[in-house]
Amino acid sequence: MLKRFHLENHKYMKTIQFREAIAEAMSEEMRRDESIYLMGEEVAEYNGAYKASKGMLDEFGPRRVIDTPISELGFAGVGVGSAMNGNRPIIEFMTFNFALVGIDQIINNAAKIRQMSGGQFDCPIVFRGPTASAGQLAATHSQAFESWYANCPGLKVVVPSNPRDAKGLLKSAIRDNDPVIFMESEQMYGDKGEVPEDEYTIPLGVAEVKREGKDVTIVSFGKIIKEAYKAADELEKEGIQCEIIDLRTVKPMDTEAILASVKKTNRLVILEEAWPFGNVATEITYQVQQKAFDYLDAPIAKINTADTPAPYSPVLLEEWLPNHEDVIRAVKKVMYK
């Protein structure tokens, strides 16, 4: 049965920005557990490159909110070593594009140390920061690596799309005893949304149906899911009801939630901001055709970026990035309209 997080369970709600939800999650967990600390470039004195750690240095001091040199390999390694020795670090990358400098620590140490030590060491660490494109930042600052990290056994990969999910999922990620890749978006830090005022967490590995529908299933995650919402609003005017599933956690993936929806709608469109070859949408496509082939009334459609580095030109960038019109065309194609 599809699990859901019910807002009605929370009496009091407040409206805050995405960056505030991130800061609240980290601060609440740091108050609860003294082994948690935040480390990264400009997280302390500058209050975070995107102000996602605003006020945390004043509250927790320089021993627990730590500015680092521009050396991702170095501070990622420090984080992994301290996690093996009883701490629960949160490592912020200014962008996951820069995490490529420290990926050896993530892939070869954090993801593997429990197995290679025969269970003697846990690695409870969160690597967090922005993912994917954020406007005209050019090719080396506009990459989505969710499928790269999800491909590596030992890592969990989380990509929230709104403040409420971001806070609940980040608290769960910090408490998890495995390394978690927590990917945000520069273009979402200012987004506002309702968040419960009381304590809550959202379990990792559980997707959510954000919009009920009977005609077609749209699966997405992260900031690009907004294009699915726009498309669904337009399609509803034509009498087409879209069911939208937000993965929230890419790995472990809530395949059962996707299958349950496809068995109801019999059609599937997957929207992902990533290059088209060997991505999250590819895995979803395989899982659905393997486990629900007889329920499909049309081939699965997946929507990705163009198979090129992200262009700097605003005109080319608009063509490169998926949008709601692409979703509308894909939905109509699987419905033979």
Catalytic residue (choose from 72, 186, 227, 272)? 72
3-state secondary structure of 69: coil
Separation between Cα atoms, residue 321 and residue 303, nearest integer Å: 10
CA distance 21 to 188: 11
Catalytic residue among 141, 184, 208, 273: 141
| Integer CA distances (angstroms), 117 to 74, 111, 181, 293, in order | 22, 12, 21, 41
Is 141 annotated as catalytic? yes
Report which DSSP code applies to 108.
I
> Which of 107, 102, 45 lies closest to 78, judged by CA?
102
Identify whether the C-beta of residue 29 lies closer than 8 Å to the C-beta of residue 175. yes
Q: Is the dihedral of CA 253, 318, 18, 141 positive or negative?
A: positive
Q: How far apart are CA 182 and CA 128, in angstroms?
A: 5
Q: How far is CA 173 from CA 39, 136, 167, in A?
A: 16, 30, 10
Task: In whole angstroms, give the CA distance from residue 330 to residue 35.
Answer: 48
Active site residues: 72, 141
